[in-house]
Chains A and B, each alone.
Chain A
Amino acid sequence: MLLGPALAISALLFSIGVLGVLIRRNAIVLFMCVELMLNAVNLTFVALSRFHGVGGQLMVFFVMAVAAAEAAVGLAIILAVFRHTTSVDLKTNTLLQG
Chain B
Amino acid sequence: MADTIFMALGTIAVLSALFCVFQRNALAAAIWLVLTMLALAGMFLILGAPFIAAIQVLVYTGAIMVLFIFVIMLLNLGDAASDIRGPGVKAIALVLAVGTGAYLLRLAGYDPARLAFELTGTTDLSPAAVFATAEVARQAAETQGVVGAVAGPLFSTYLVPFEVTSLLLLAAIIGAVVLAKRKI
Contacts and interface: CB of A to CB of B under 8 A. Distances in A.
Direct contact of A and B (CB under 8 A): yes
Interface of A: 1-20, 22-26, 28-29, 31-33, 35-36, 39, 42-44, 46-47, 49-55, 57-58, 60-62, 64-73, 75-80, 82-83, 88-89
Contacts of A82: 75
Interface of B: 2-3, 6-7, 10, 13-14, 17-18, 20-21, 26, 29-30, 33, 36-37, 40, 43-44, 46-49, 51-52, 55-56, 59-60, 63-65, 67-68, 71-72, 74-75, 77, 80, 83-85, 89-90, 92-94, 96-98, 100-101, 104-105, 107-112, 115, 127, 131, 133-134, 137-138, 141, 149-150, 152-154, 157-158, 161, 165, 168-169, 171-173, 175-177, 179-180, 182
A58 B98 CA distance: 30
B5 to A, nearest CB: 10
Given A15-B97, A51-B112, A24 B84 contact: yes
B61 to A, nearest CB: 11
Given A29-B83, A65-B169, A22 B89 contact: yes
Contact of B71 (A5, A9, A70, A78): A78
24 contacts: A3-B110, A5-B3, A5-B108, A8-B107, A8-B108, A9-B14, A11-B105, A22-B92, A24-B21, A24-B83, A28-B68, A32-B20, A33-B20, A43-B40, A53-B133, A55-B153, A57-B150, A60-B49, A60-B52, A67-B60, A71-B67, A72-B172, A73-B175, A75-B67
Contact of A42 (B26, B40, B77, B176): B40
A62 B55 CA distance: 11
B176 A3 contact: no
A32 B131 contact: no
Top 4 closest A-B pairs, CB basis?
Answer: A15-B101, A22-B93, A11-B104, A69-B172
A82 to B, nearest CB: 6
B13 A13 contact: yes
A19 B97 contact: yes
A29 B153 contact: no
Contacts of A71: 64, 67-68
Contact of A80 (B33, B56, B180): B180
Contacts of A76: 175-177, 179-180
A11 B85 contact: no
A78 B43 CA distance: 32
A61 B164 CA distance: 13
Contact of A6 (B43, B97, B173): B43
Contact of B154 (A2, A42, A58, A77): A58
Given A19-B96, A26-B80, 18 more contacts: A1-B111, A2-B46, A2-B47, A9-B13, A9-B43, A12-B17, A20-B21, A22-B92, A22-B96, A23-B90, A32-B68, A46-B43, A50-B47, A52-B134, A71-B68, A72-B175, A73-B179, A89-B83
